[in-house]
Each structure stands twice: as C-alpha cells, then as structure tokens.
C-alpha cells in the first residue's frame, strides 16, 4: 500500500523566515506522497493591526467577523500560501497552493452561534481526498491554507489548521496508509513545559490523561493532542509531534513524540 504523509506547520515556524526555510528544505528531501497544511495566525494579527482591523481572541481562538475573514483570506490563502509554494518550487518541489474551496476539497459549515459567536469559522463536514489524491498522482505536492468553504453560503471560512490536517489525513486513509505529523517550535510533547528536553517519546491515552490532570500538558497542546488521538481512532497509521527541524529524524523514530 502506498504511503502519504500529511504535515502541519505553524507557530514560530511560519513567523520566522529562517525556520521556515529550514523546514521547507528538509521537507523537499522527503520522498513519497506528501501534503502540507500551514497556519499563520500571528502574521494575520500583524496584518490586521496594520489595516486597523481589531483582533478578538477567546480562549486562544480567533473571532472571525467579516473584516477579519478578509484578512485571513489574504494572509493565509495569499501571502503565506504563495510564499511557501514559491520556496518549494525553488527547492525542486512541484507544489500547488490551495484552499478548501479549490476543487471543492474541504467543505464546512459555519459554526452555529452558541455562547460565543465565532463568526465566519468553519466546522469541517466533508473532505474530497480523491481529488487531493489526484494531485499527488500527478506529482504535485498540495499546500493547503486553513480556509474551508460553506457551499450553502458561498463563503470561505476560517478553519483551525490542526483540525484541517487531521481531517485530510483521516479521509486519505481511503487511498493510502497515512502518517500525520504536527511540526512546531518544540521538540515534541513535553512533560515539563519549561524544559525543552523533557520530550515524552511515546504518548498513550493513559499517559496523556495523567499529564493533563497534573497540568503539565495544557493550553494549546490539548486540542492538538485531541486531534491526534481522534486521527488514530479513525485509522491514521501514526501521529507524530516534533520540532520542525527534526522531521526526517522523527519519521525514523529518532525524535519527537509518537502518539499511540
């Protein structure tokens, strides 16, 4: 069976040109089918400030009103996405930049208003991994911005990049064995957030629950790990969380955290 690896990059990797170049250089050397999903929230916030568009965050999640939707569409789907595609082309990777609206890849529903109105935020409903697979079969490497679309409203929607990577990975198992790799600025999941070398090499549900209860795993790592375990439950072969500089070693079991 063929192998597909879905990578998600975010955090300080996107914010630092040097870190992004190192990641893309390593990414370009990896063989086999691969898909890249990127974030870019900090850059979106910086551009919004320049445009006098207020940024509102609730528990780390962005409220996406219409002006902010315009900003994230420009930043995610344009600025960041096309810069990554251009760099990969220079590195010999025939990348194609996409949003969830392109070729109808990721359909979503505008999140219903409950206690909080998140605005134009999308909850993923359907992924067309067959269309995505057709790109990789042509030797293309899809690079996806975290934008889905609601066909009933005819609008793009801001979508969590970790969730989009997980949804793509899960649907791609209909075609290949899939590995999902979350890459960021830490060496993996840490048992001590203040010690970058306290990497948990293997994380099971029981170990995860214990660390959550102790508070050593908290904040933004919790939704990332929830996505990781959900991907495994749905049939993804393995999930790895690692430093963006360590992707080759992590795929060989020599770095990062393996979720099992």
Please classify residue 227 by burial: count the beta carbons closer than 10 Å to its beta carbon, then call 0-12 exposed, 13-18 middle and 19+ buried. buried
Structural tokens at position 106: 């990721």
In the chain the beta strands, taken as DSSP E runs, fall at 3-9, 33-38, 57-58, 61-62, 95-98, 106-110, 122-127, 141-144, 147-150, 155-158, 177-184, 202-203, 238-243, 257-259
pTM of the model: 0.95
Question: What's 75's domain CATH number?
Answer: 3.40.1160.10
Predicted confidence band of residue 215 (pLDDT cuts 50, 70, 90): confident
Cα 9–Cα 6–Cα 12 angle in degrees, nearest 5:
5
Rounded to the nearest 5 percent, the helix, strand and coil shares of the chain are 40, 25, 35
Domain hosting 220: range is: 3-259
> What confidence tens digit (pLDDT) does each residue in 98-130 have?
999 999 999 999 999 988 999 999 999 999 999
Q: How many residues does the chain have?
A: 260
Per the structure, the count of domains in the chain is 1
The 10 Å Cβ neighbour count of residue 252 is 9
> What confidence tens digit (pLDDT) does each residue in 36-68 have?
999 998 999 999 999 999 999 887 789 999 999
Quote the pLDDT of residue 41: 86
């Amino acid at each position: 069976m063929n192998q597909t690896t879905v990578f998600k990059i975010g955090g300080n990797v996107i914010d630092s040109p040097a870190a992004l170049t190192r990641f893309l250089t390593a990414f370009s050397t990896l063989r086999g089918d691969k898909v890249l999903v990127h974030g870019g929230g900090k850059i979106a916030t910086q551009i919004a400030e320049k445009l006098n568009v207020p940024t509102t965050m609730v528990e780390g999640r962005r409220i996406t009103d219409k002006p902010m939707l315009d900003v994230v569409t420009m930043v995610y789907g344009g600025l960041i996405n096309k810069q990554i595609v251009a760099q990969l082309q220079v590195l010999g990777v025939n990348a194609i930049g996409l949003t969830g609206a392109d070729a109808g890849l990721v359909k979503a529903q505008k999140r219903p208003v409950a206690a909080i109105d998140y605005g134009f935020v999308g909850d993923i409903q359907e992924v067309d991994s067959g269309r995505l697979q057709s790109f990789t079969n042509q030797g293309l490497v899809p690079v996806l911005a975290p934008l889905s679309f609601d066909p009933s409203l005819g609008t793009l929607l801001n979508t969590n990049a970790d969730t989009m990577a997980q949804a793509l990975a899960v649907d791609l198992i209909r075609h290949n064995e899939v590995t999902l790799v979350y890459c960021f600025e830490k060496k993996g999941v840490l048992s001590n957030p203040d010690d970058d070398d306290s990497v948990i090499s293997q994380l099971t549900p029981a170990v995860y629950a214990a660390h959550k209860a102790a508070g050593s795993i908290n904040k933004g790592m919790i939704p990332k790990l929830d996505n990781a375990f959900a991907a495994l439950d749905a049939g993804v072969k393995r999930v790895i969380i690692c430093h963006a500089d360590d992707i080759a070693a992590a795929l060989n079991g020599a770095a990062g955290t393996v979720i099992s």
